[in-house]
Amino acid sequence: MEKINLIKPEKINLKDHPILNEHWLQDIIAKDPEILGLGDLILKDKERKQPRAGRLDILLQDAEINKRYEVEIQLGKTDESHIIRTIEYWDIERKRYPQYDHCGVIVAENITSRFLNVIGLFNGMIPLVAIQMTAIQTEAGVGLSFTKVLDEMRLGLPDEDEDINEPTDRKYWENKSNKTMLSMADKVLDIIKEDDASIEFKYNRHYIGIASGGVANNFVILHPRKKYLKIAIKLPKSEEVSNKLEESGLAYDYVRWGRYRLLHINQDEFKEQMELISELLTMAYNDSR
């Protein structure tokens, strides 16, 4: 049996560290938002100025589901003022940008049981996530671990408004994915055009949406990748649709924003399940009218 060296890491307190401060941690999260464990997120803003309320540390967004995370960072132990700031920034952002779903996120080195009890009272009425961060010193450098200690309570479905997103073009998506995956996306569009010839792609930076006469109607959202295509279809969750997807063998999930997401579809799966995909697209189109 191969011998494995046991390394005993040393936990460090960033609050008392002479170099690694809150701004350093903000930069780490801003460069790699996925490190928080909240999914495939993108940075929208950092040190975001709030009207009469200071600055929001980090604003993140999940482009697939039109959701934003208002992230507040506190080194050391959580306190009451930190709760108030997080809720205040969450409230300001959701009022300014109601077309998004919003969630407040608290990141701290030490989240106490008393703190969890307090914010647990708000959870459900105010979507909150608490993440405890641990910094570890090793011979190779500093490691960071993020553990979700309080998750957001699932709420009802929000109304979906058109996403304010940075427009782009087909060339951008050819570089981000490849022509093969885009050809699969084109076939999705061809299927939809059988129901409505006026429908065209609307290319955005983080997804390809659907528009008719220049007006967005994202009953389908496409995410071409290098090796697969992801299709998010807006449909009410039903036993009938779920059973069909189970029988098909396609990898899928259902998000509370009212979409079946067909995950990691390759060329072979797309050809094999063309009939089912066409059926779901037609259902989604009819529901959107």
Q: Note down the domain range covering 31.
A: 10-150
**SS3 assignment, position 103:** strand
| Rounded (5°) CA angle 64-239-192 | 50
Q: Are residues 243 and 120 in the same domain?
A: no
Q: What is the pLDDT of residue 59?
A: 94
Kindly state whether residues 21 and 127 are assigned to the same domain.
yes
In total, the chain counts a number of residues equal to 289
Q: Is 155 among the domain residues?
A: no
H or E element, residue 122: helix 113-122
One domain, residues 102 and 187: no
* Pair 138, 98 in one domain: yes
Q: In the chain, which residues have pLDDT < 70?
A: 1, 63, 120, 122-124, 152-166, 256-257
Interatomic CA distance for residues 97 and 94, integer angstroms: 5
Encoded tokens for 142: 């500093």
Question: DSSP letter at 184?
Answer: H
Cross-strand partners of 240: none
Which residue type is seen at 60?
L
Give which of 226, 221, 222 is closest to 178, Cα–Cα: 226
Tens digits of residue pLDDT in 38-80? 888 889 999 898 877 788 999 999 867 778 999 999 888 877 7
Are 30 and 139 found together in one domain? yes
Distance of CA 203 to CAs 65, 73, 102, 178, 194, Å?
A: 16, 34, 24, 15, 20
Same domain, 72 and 123: yes
Do 224 and 272 reside in the same domain of the chain?
yes
Indicate which CATH number applies to the domain containing 251: 3.90.1150.20
Domain boundary (84, 118, 150) is at 150
- Segment holding 199, helix H or strand E: strand 199-203
Query: What is the pLDDT at residue 186?
Result: 94
Distances (CA, A) of 131 to 111, 150, 194: 8, 7, 47
Q: What is the CA radius of gyration of the chain?
A: 22
| 108 and 185 share one domain | no
* pLDDT at residue 156 in the model: 41
> How many CB atoms are located within 10 Å of the residue 215 CB?
10
Q: Are residues 62 and 179 in the same domain?
A: no
Predicted local confidence at residue 166, as pLDDT: 66
The total of other beta-carbon atoms located within 10 Å of residue 140's CB is 7
Please count the structural domains in the chain: 2
Residue 257 in any domain: the answer is: yes
Count Cβ atoms below 10 Å from residue 166 Cβ, excluding itself: 8
Give SS3 for 17.
coil
